[in-house]
Structure 1
Amino acid sequence: MATVLQTTRAASSPLHVTSEIGRLRTVLLHRPGAELENLTPDLLERLLFDDIPYLQLAQSEHDSFAQVLTANGVEVLYLENLAAESLTDAHIRDNLIRQFILEAGVESDCMKAALIEYFRPLSNRDLIDQMMAGVRRDQLGNVRVDSLYDRVNNSYPFLCDPMPNLYFTRDPFATIGQGITLNHMRTLTRNRETLFAQYIFQYHPRFRQADIPLWFDREEATALEGGDELVLSDQVLAIGISQRTDSGSVERVCRRLFEAEAGFETVLAFHIPQSRAFMHLDTVFTMVDHDKFTIHSAIEGPLTVYEITGSRDRAGQVRLKIEQLNDKLEAILEKYLKRRVTLIRCGSGDAIHAPREQWNDGANTLAIAPGEVVVYSRNHVTNQLLESHGIKLHVIPSSELSRGRGGPRCMSMPLYRDDL
């Protein structure tokens, strides 16, 4: 019965997310691929990694994640499959190749031509996999180079960098209501990831006829990342102003949501510290039930939060009203969710357990239904605390996946949830 309901919903609207905890029906994942094997110690900082995951085990752990979702009635879609299926004709495929080469920063005309020839015979799926993995110079064979530029700039091993962060599908775009923010990400390394989402929503048969609202575009000048976007209810959003998301981006999202009258009445902009430990709002704060949240205890005190609402003037133009709130997280959540809430501290707030488990994304959970979440096995102190509060856990292995500094929420982009 669940499958029939799911198919009917997907046929009427491929996107629908009005909460963080509604029963999850469809989700987008990316199974880690050869891009992880192209990480080296010298490239870690450039590619935003702290360590090098072991691919075979990372894939096994990710498969366990997908199996948990599938076993609980969730339709699992894969980024790499959807991207390949979006290349429905030669013109679209050629445009992707040229845009990919441009955004990879390939400046040499000689190497651009060589890359086009290298990509030409690949199947659509092999093409996508190769783009994600990155392209080494030595993969192109002996390319004749005549320019001074090519002779001088030949020491870096990659013509196109790998994209090891792709398995964190939460960030390149985010589903809000029946639309998306197609994000402009903070770093060049990650911003290339949004290219796949652009082609999926523009050309994939599942989405191209749906007239999906775009609350934000990857061509914007300011940064926005999906880990900072939380749908607290069908009326209230939370967006972090963080290391990865700019305040100007929050205003643009608000304006477009209010202009479209998408149902969301309030956006809470959380101004959080700009540090790697607080990279995104969802690394320190996720919703696990109607009235329960996991948190990093460092944000439990007074916060600077901005309430943003919209109204129309006499000319019909949307005007934003912004009010600063200075209160504790608990009080802010209770005011806008209109219920008492419980904050569950990562690592119980202990001086040793909390920072260790926060480093391994103990506060980053994926709700598949109210009071039912996916968590990493290694965060055992937080997990026991969640269970003591009546939360049902689906525990997945995490020794290698966690090396990328992202948890189950980071690794998933819900496309469809039931309303609460």
Structure 2
Amino acid sequence: MIASINVKSEIGKLTTVILKRPGKEIENITPATMPRLLFDDIPYLPIAQKEHDQFAEILKQNGTEVLYLDDLAAEALKDTNVRQKFLQQMIAESGFKQGKTADALQDYLSGFAPLAMVQHIMEGIRKEELPLKNFDLKNISENNDYPFLMDPMPNLYFTRDPAASIGDGLSINRMTFTARRRESLFMEYIIAHHQRFASQRVRVWRTRNHHTRIEGGDELVLNDHILAIGVSQRTSAEAIQDIAGSLFENASGYDTVIAIKIPNNHAMMHLDTVFTMVNYDQFTVHPAILTKQGQIDSWILHPAKDGISIEHHRDLKQVLKNVLDLDDLDLIPTGNGDPIAAPREQWNDGSNTLAIAPGEVVTYNRNYVSNEILRKHGLKVHEILSSELSRGRGGPRCMSMPLVREDLKK
């Protein structure tokens, strides 16, 4: 039987991936709701879709099976009882645990076919769609003029964050901000009820039912026994210790977790916005996360008799060389380290490269300085159009959730 999940590196040939094509949820952002929905701008949907389609086509042309999140969710919810349970939970997490509004939403959404229902939930449910005059507004907003009962989910095209494949299992993540927290519910139901995954009883290293926060953009699978996880705006140190303990205790094959502390801000929200692995001995790195001496706080976690041992380090390059057993390491600076080009291109995800094979990556075309440097360092670069997708503050790695990669040859 072919494994439904097998990700034991960041760079093994990408075999299967989950994407989410931007939909009407993007058009349901307004200037007033941008902060609430975690956007700095409003992408123009027709162009964003064309750019995303080009991204998917490049992956397909290079041998990757592309699955779409909304299709998988709809297929997982074909059973009426499962679908009703999902709706009840989604409505509750949208602020309506019980009452007339919850009942009206349940009845309304139950009338859609599974795919239309999933897509409509993703797009957001307006008040005007329900035949009610009064709503339980205390559950969603104090503003009577706020148009939505269930907020749109425009961040869904960043499929990397709600869940992350690790080895032959995955984490289903507790997202940091309310705007994104419902997103991982789709993956919870896909893993439990979609035939492709449920038949294999995929292992879940950490569920979404936690108080501490972790997101997939901070989770990097360096090889078949080492992870790097960012301590960031979106992932807490406590969550890293928790998932490390789960991996160590449950025969995952993982015995080393490197926690890397990055600045806690929107420009560098995840580790993969400033640091990605692109080859056996090559990484992209945004220079601003390192001191002039190339230092950054990091901690190495290992299993120990009394739980977990933790060692503090500062020299990231030396840490990576040691744990990966490398004689040398090539850290490729975003924007070639230029004081203007580097922060500009990092803001547009110049460090957020998606490796589709060792030394072969997908990047945004707008980051031309970084792309040229990648090529000078010997990498094969596939560029995708990015005028609108980039407005969401996420690049090719953010927009993809690998399910299967080929194992690296040892």
TM-score scaled by length of structure 1: 0.93
Deviation per CA, 1:145-169: give whole Å up to 9, x if none: 3989799863211000000000000
1:316-355 superposed matches below 5 A: 319-327=307-315, 329-339=316-326, 340-355=328-343
User: Does 1:176 pair with 2:172?
Assistant: no
Partner secondary structure for residue 304 of structure 1: strand
State the distance in 1 between where 2:373 and 2:255 align. Answer: 33
Q: CA deviation at 1:120?
A: 1.9
User: Does 1:394 pair with 2:382?
Assistant: yes
1:13-412 superposed matches below 5 A: 13-106=3-96, 109-140=99-130, 142-145=131-134, 154-300=144-290, 301-311=294-304, 313=305, 319-327=307-315, 329-339=316-326, 340-412=328-400
**Could you say if the C-alpha distance between residues 99 and 350 of structure 1 is closer, same or farther in structure 2, counting changes exceeding 3 Å?**
same
State the distance in 2 between where 1:100 and 1:360 align. Answer: 32
For the 8 Å contact 2:284–2:351, the answer to whether it is kept is yes
Q: CA deviation at 1:118?
A: 1.5
How many residue pairs were aligned? Answer: 403
Deviation per CA, 1:86-118: give whole Å up to 9, x if none: 013110011111111100113672222221222
Q: Report the residue type matching 2:114 in the other structure.
A: N
State the distance in 1 between where 2:258 and 2:271 align. Answer: 12
Q: Report the residue type matching 2:24 in the other structure.
A: A
For the 8 Å contact 1:106–1:159, the answer to whether it is kept is no
Q: Report the residue type matching 1:188 in the other structure.
A: T
RMSD: 1.7
Partner secondary structure for residue 41 of structure 1: coil
Q: Report the residue type matching 2:404 in the other structure.
A: Y
> Unaligned stretches of 5+ in structure 2?
none
State the distance in 1 between where 2:204 and 2:65 align. Answer: 23
For the 8 Å contact 1:244–1:280, the answer to whether it is kept is yes
Partner secondary structure for residue 28 of structure 1: strand
Q: Report the residue type matching 1:332 in the other structure.
A: V
Deviation per CA, 1:115-148: give whole Å up to 9, x if none: 12221221100000000000011122x4243989
Partner secondary structure for residue 70 of structure 2: helix
State the distance in 2 between where 1:336 and 1:326 align. Answer: 14
State the distance in 1 between where 2:73 and 2:110 align. Answer: 16
Partner secondary structure for residue 222 of structure 1: coil
State the distance in 1 between where 2:175 and 2:4 align. Answer: 24
For the 8 Å contact 1:163–1:190, the answer to whether it is kept is yes
State the distance in 2 between where 1:325 and 1:395 align. Answer: 35
Structure 1: which 4+ aligned runs deviate by more than 4 Å? Answer: 146-153
State the distance in 1 between where 2:125 and 2:372 align. Answer: 44
State the distance in 2 between where 1:355 and 1:147 align. Answer: 44
Aligned partner of 2:401 in structure 1 is 413
Q: CA deviation at 1:214?
A: 1.2
For the 8 Å contact 1:292–1:341, the answer to whether it is kept is yes
For the 8 Å contact 1:44–1:51, the answer to whether it is kept is yes
Q: Report the residue type matching 2:217 in the other structure.
A: G
State the distance in 2 between where 1:393 and 1:334 align. Answer: 25
Q: Report the residue type matching 2:299 in the other structure.
A: Y
Partner secondary structure for residue 258 of structure 2: strand
Partner secondary structure for residue 196 of structure 2: coil
**Could you say if the C-alpha distance between residues 144 and 107 of structure 1 is closer, same or farther in structure 2, counting changes exceeding 3 Å?**
farther
Q: Report the residue type matching 2:183 in the other structure.
A: E
Percent identical among aligned pairs is 51
For the 8 Å contact 1:169–1:412, the answer to whether it is kept is yes
Q: Report the residue type matching 2:302 in the other structure.
A: T
Partner secondary structure for residue 18 of structure 1: coil
Q: Report the residue type matching 2:134 in the other structure.
A: V
**Could you say if the C-alpha distance between residues 113 and 293 of structure 1 is closer, same or farther in structure 2, counting changes exceeding 3 Å?**
same
Q: Report the residue type matching 1:61 in the other structure.
A: E
Deviation per CA, 1:29-67: give whole Å up to 9, x if none: 000011001000000000000000001100000000000
Partner secondary structure for residue 49 of structure 2: helix
